[in-house]
Amino acid sequence: MTVRLTKLIAPSFYSVYQDVKHHRYANYWLKGGRGSTKSSFVSIVIILGMMQDPEANAVVIRKVAATLRDSVFDQYLWAIDKLGVADYWASSTSPMQLTYLPTGQQIRFKGADKPQKIKSQKFRHGYTKFKHFEEISDFKGMEEIRNINQSLNRGGSGIVTFSSYNPPASQRNWVNEATEQQSLRKDTLVHSSDYRSVPQEWLGKEFIADAEQLKHDNEKAYQHEYLGEVTGTGAEVFDNLTIRVITQEERANFDDFYHGMDFGYAKDPTAYLDIAYEPNRRRIFLLDEIYQTHMLSREAVVKIKPLNPKNEMISADSASPDIIGELRDLGLNVVGVKKGSGSREFTYKWLQDLSEIVIDPRTCPNAAREFQGYEYKKDGMGNFIEKYPDGDDHTIDAVRYGMRTAMKRGGYVPWK
């Protein structure tokens, strides 16, 4: 029997299939909205991969074991049927697994709510070559994912991990932050897809009609649910962010530089930021950062000097005069920012009123995370509290201090 993969895989996944076939990446983060067929793609690729490699087994994982039967297990049965190989596979629901009859290879389905059942998977033949985290956004965070990977990444080479998910609306959600970090890894492909690249006959008229109706009724909900976009929850303090690489050519053409620093030690990190400012276009660029707990003053000086070779003025929190004095004794040009009444609100508003805050996620990953995740809190009635919240704002504070003199150019600023 001959099966054309173009009849089973949506066009948006053609290049990803080639990447998997030629072993170009070890990790695939597949994000998308409803009807993007990302999970269908993974099930087909894993079934084919196992039938082509007699040493390959797979473990498919969801956060809650009770959700496996009616989601990914049925999805893999669908893939087997569509590939026309049902005669070669046996299924079992207790334990939940699929067995490739010619060799005894298996696909096992596990829930992360029972971690003891994931650890130390032993197979009669081969090893865990494929892993599939379905709806990875349901998991607690990267620590939980790492623990599972450490248990399964044993016994063989060329292990491939798929993570499929609908991105949560809030940028603060751990999986959206992790996606940005994963995109910087050379062994990882982050791929986006949505229903618009899928043949309409696969989805049906009702699906298309529902999507178009939501687009008409609620554009933002449509973008999140059907296009898989991180639209935000409406609580974001900064809606003027651009997260992208700042090129060397751009960096060479900046004229106006500022430097800010927020102090911490044990629980809270010390944060240092290099900032470029374009006053005519009212935008700032966050170029480089230092972000570390338990950092001594001498260590801070060693790290800052290469980023600020001209020893330009660094504006820092005046609440720590002893640290400022120590840094100055070590040769760093640090001045304390004395905050007057209303200075916090003023400086946040100044940043919000900029046309754009550009953050390079490679060199300022913590600034990207903090600025994107900084949200207004809600009261008991579900209404937003206008006060700017405290916590997880160390790079934001460093930028506020660093831009003090630029803020003063426009007139009154509540700095003392």
Residue 388 DSSP class: P
Residues 173, 179 contacting (CB under 8 angstroms): no
How far is residue 112's CA from residue 135's CA, in Å, rounded to a whole number? 12
Q: Which of 135, 225, 370, 375 is catalytic?
A: 135
Q: Give all strands (DSSP E) within 138-269, no chain letters.
A: 160-165, 188-193, 241-243, 257-262
Is 135 among the residues known to form the active site?
A: yes
Residues 151, 120 contacting (CB under 8 angstroms): yes
How far is residue 265's CA from residue 293's CA, in Å, rounded to a whole number? 5
| Other C-beta atoms lying within 10 Å of the C-beta of residue 229 | 18
Token pair for 263: 């102090």
Closest CA to 85 of 131, 50, 57, 36: 50
Residue 218 is which amino acid? Answer: N
How far is residue 221's CA from residue 365's CA, in Å, rounded to a whole number? 28
How far is residue 368's CA from residue 243's CA, in Å, rounded to a whole number? 7
Residues 72, 43 contacting (CB under 8 angstroms): yes
Question: Which residues belong to the active site?
Answer: 135
